[in-house]
Amino acid sequence: MSKIKIDTIAALSTPAGRAAISMIRVSGPDTFDILHKVFKTGGKRPFPLHYSAYFGSIVEPETGFVADQVIVNTYLAPKSYTGENLAEISTHGNPVIVSKVLSILFKNGARQAEKGEFTRRAFLNGKMDLIEVEALSQLLYASTNTQARLALNQLDGLPSKFIAKVREELLNQLVQLEASLNFPEDSIESIDESALKNSLQKILSELCVFYENAKNGSLISEGLKIAIVGKPNAGKSSLMNYLLGRDRAIVTDIPGTTRDTLEESLIIDSMPLRLIDTAGIRKAENTIEAIGIERTEKAIDNAFAVLGVFDGSRPSDKEDLAVLEKLKCLDKPVLVIKNKSDLPQQLENDFLSGFNVISVSALKGEGMAKLINSLTDIVKSQGIENLEEMVLLGASQINALDKALTALKRAESGIGNIYQDMLSIDLEEAVRELGRVNGETVDVNTLDMIFERFCIGK
């Protein structure tokens, strides 16, 4: 209906600056019209064929000025990254050449692509769904091999397919239900509630596993948070500095120096970790410390695992006891570290009993290898090394998944207790939220599906 045309965009797709080769991408309906004007190639092959490479020159049409000798790769819509006609122009990697080629393209009908516009077009043209877009983004920004491998797993589309499958199953149930709701009881059979319940239970259990995998996935992409707690001056900051190999936290002899939580990234055995140095658990003497202590509590809550640090060179006091009590009630992995092993040991022998204690000297580096091994073991024991099953989702996608699960649980437990029209509200919400997980924007028309499947007479 609309006469508005989609325009053609171009941009440098490799990092700016001097390189052996730079690549400029052009995408849109006019891609090849523009190239016909500015790209001169010899040979007998027609230009463009799908998925072909051409050697030639970029020439300014008005002046005949040759900007560069290039290789142009051609992709015809819809079989391209963006789903549109697309060309990749590989030029020599000189910024002057690149900018000349781009300006020739712009003068002949292309427009500078905005940030993310190629991917946006791919998404809009149905070449990628949201899970894949998210994965691509993670892949580009991955800082460890683990993160990159995880992102690559998503790009093969398995998580998308899973969500699409679950959504399809739910949609089937919804259509059955809606058919019964849209027509009077005298013209359509009533639905089998126990079959519906069974089906929802099965879907729920699969989806819960997926949800756990997604949460693990975001652990990996954000880095596993490890909180370091202990009384002031137990050596938390020194421990962190040793692990990071540099002086980040302020280390002094004055207790309470670390007033805020400090966060640092660290890669151990290809696993991204985020170490969070906390302000300690002690009675705050001023507001700033009180804020710090509140943050400590929060850091512990959000952490994947907690390192409890105790000063081995002093007898325990009530602050140590407070830390110990805190560690005892955590339902997450805890590593207990007795620091300052280079000094005479005065901490009571049985004080840390019940925990597997690692004795270290953060200052001298003693026992640190063992600590790192234990950290690695914790990561592995929690089953989050199984990258093949892990799912990468953005925050809004996890949120949608969460909402879908809530609605489904409500529906499942409601069967038999609440009216079917309410059930359908929950099912519809679940279908809608699952659609948001992989970015299906087309609203489903359940009415159409009803008429496809049921012979309605009244």
Q: Which residue number, 55 or 419, has a Cβ lying nearer to other proteins?
A: 419
Interaction between residue 209 and other proteins (CB under 8 A): no
By CB under 8 A, which span of 66-74, 93-101, 136-144, 309-317 interacts with other proteins? Answer: 136-144
**In angstroms, rounded to a whole number, what is the distance separating the alpha carbons of residues 288 and 116?**
42
Per the listing, tokens 């690692």 go with 358
Interaction between residue 185 and other proteins (CB under 8 A): yes
Q: Which residue number, 64 or 457, has a Cβ lying nearer to other proteins?
A: 457
CB 261 within 8 A of CB 239: no
**In angstroms, rounded to a whole number, what is the distance separating the alpha carbons of residues 458 and 189?**
12
Interaction between residue 362 and other proteins (CB under 8 A): no
Task: Indicate the SS3 state at residue 92.
Answer: strand
Query: Whole-number minimum distance, CB 183 to other proteins, in Å?
Result: 6
Q: Report the first-to-last Cα separation within the chain, whole angstroms.
A: 35
> Of residues 213-252, which lie at the interface with other proteins (CB under 8 A)?
none
Interaction between residue 395 and other proteins (CB under 8 A): yes
Interaction between residue 422 and other proteins (CB under 8 A): yes
Q: Which residue number, 55 or 141, has a Cβ lying nearer to other proteins?
A: 141
Interaction between residue 415 and other proteins (CB under 8 A): no
Interaction between residue 456 and other proteins (CB under 8 A): yes
Query: Looking at 256-311, which runs of residues are DSSP E strands?
Result: 262-268, 271-277, 305-311
Q: Sheet containing 66-75: give its strands across.
A: 39-41, 52-59, 66-75, 86-92, 21-27, 8-12, 110-112
Q: Which residue number, 208 or 422, has a Cβ lying nearer to other proteins?
A: 422
Query: Whole-number minimum distance, CB 141 to other proteins, in Å?
Result: 9
Task: Indicate the SS3 state at residue 334.
Answer: strand
**β-strand 86-92 against 66-75: which pairing, if any?**
antiparallel
CA distances from 322 to 213, 310, 330 (A): 34, 11, 13
CB 19 within 8 A of CB 93: yes
Q: Which of 182, 257, 345, 374 binds other proteins (CB under 8 A)?
A: 182
Residues that bind other proteins (CB under 8 A): 1-2, 4, 6-7, 114-116, 118-120, 123-124, 130, 133-134, 136-137, 140, 178, 180-187, 394-397, 399, 417-422, 425, 429, 436, 439, 441-443, 446-447, 450-451, 455-458
